[in-house]
């Protein structure tokens, strides 16, 4: 992929298919983890204009803030805490339509209303999470979940582990 992102119009599904194909060639051409995570954040933000897009990476007993796009965010999250720490502990995607209804949600910004967190898994080991926040309630659905998992599980695979 060149540094130019091609944004197609059409359904959200069409947009994810186009974005993921571009991201796949982008990460195939680059082995550096941080460079790839940074470009994935930038591409997701530019494509869908999400409020906040970022990665947290597992370091010892915490998730530590990695590459992101959006307002400043909290830097460390313990396992099992908030939406991100729960995704890490349970090794599963968390789709939260209303963050105020999620017990223990960590509010980095009061403007965030809904959220999706996908674990970065390799052979049952979580090495980080992708966190996306929206200013709208109920902004993520099964289409987001399917394609963002595809991104995290297939495109950001073993060779990208820290
Ligand atoms: N809301 C997250 C914390 C990270 S920020 O949203 C960027 C959580 O509850 O884990």
| Among candidate residues 105, 123, 118, 99, the one with its CA nearest the CA of residue 44 | 118
Q: What is the pLDDT of residues 49-101, one digit of tens each?
A: 999 999 999 999 999 999 999 999 999 999 999 999 999 999 999 999 999 99
pLDDT of 154: 81
pLDDT of 156: 83
pTM over 0.85: yes
Residue 18: exposure state from Cβ atoms within 10 A (0-12, 13-18, ≥19): middle
CA of 96 from ligand 1 middle (Å) equals 11
CA of 77 from ligand 1 middle (Å) equals 8
Q: What is the pLDDT of residues 127-158, one digit of tens each?
A: 999 999 999 999 999 999 999 999 998 888 75
Q: Say what the alpha-carbon torsion angle 77, 79, 84, 89 is, to the nearest 10 degrees.
A: 170
Neighbours of 116 (CB within 10 A): 24
The residues facing 117 across adjacent strands are: 94, 131
CA of 48 from ligand 1 middle (Å) equals 19
Q: What is the pLDDT of residues 20-53, one digit of tens each?
A: 999 998 888 888 999 999 999 999 999 999 999 9
Rg (the chain; Cα; Å): 15
The pLDDT-based confidence of 160 (bands split at 50, 70, 90) is low
Whole-Å CA distances, 87 to 78, 96, 113, 124: 11, 11, 18, 13
* Pocket lining for ligand 1, CB < 6 angstroms: 52, 73-74, 77, 82-85, 105-106, 108, 112, 115, 131, 133
């Amino acid at each position: 992929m060149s540094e130019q992102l091609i944004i197609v119009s059409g359904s959200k599904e069409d947009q994810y298919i186009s974005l993921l194909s571009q991201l796949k060639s982008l990460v195939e051409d680059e082995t550096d983890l941080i460079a790839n995570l940074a470009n994935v954040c930038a591409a997701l933000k530019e494509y869908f204009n999400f409020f906040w897009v970022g990665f947290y990476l597992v370091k010892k007993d915490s998730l530590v803030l990695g590459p992101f796009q959006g307002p400043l965010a909290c830097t460390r999250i313990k396992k099992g805490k908030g939406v991100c720490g729960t995704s890490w502990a349970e090794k599963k995607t968390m789709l939260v339509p209303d963050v105020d209804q999620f017990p223990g949600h960590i509010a980095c910004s009061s403007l965030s209303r809904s959220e999706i967190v996908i674990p970065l898994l390799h052979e049952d080991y979580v090495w980080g999470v992708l966190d996306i926040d929206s200013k709208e309630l109920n902004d993520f659905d099964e289409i987001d979940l399917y394609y963002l998992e595809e991104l995290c599980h297939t495109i950001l695979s073993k060779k990208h582990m820290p």
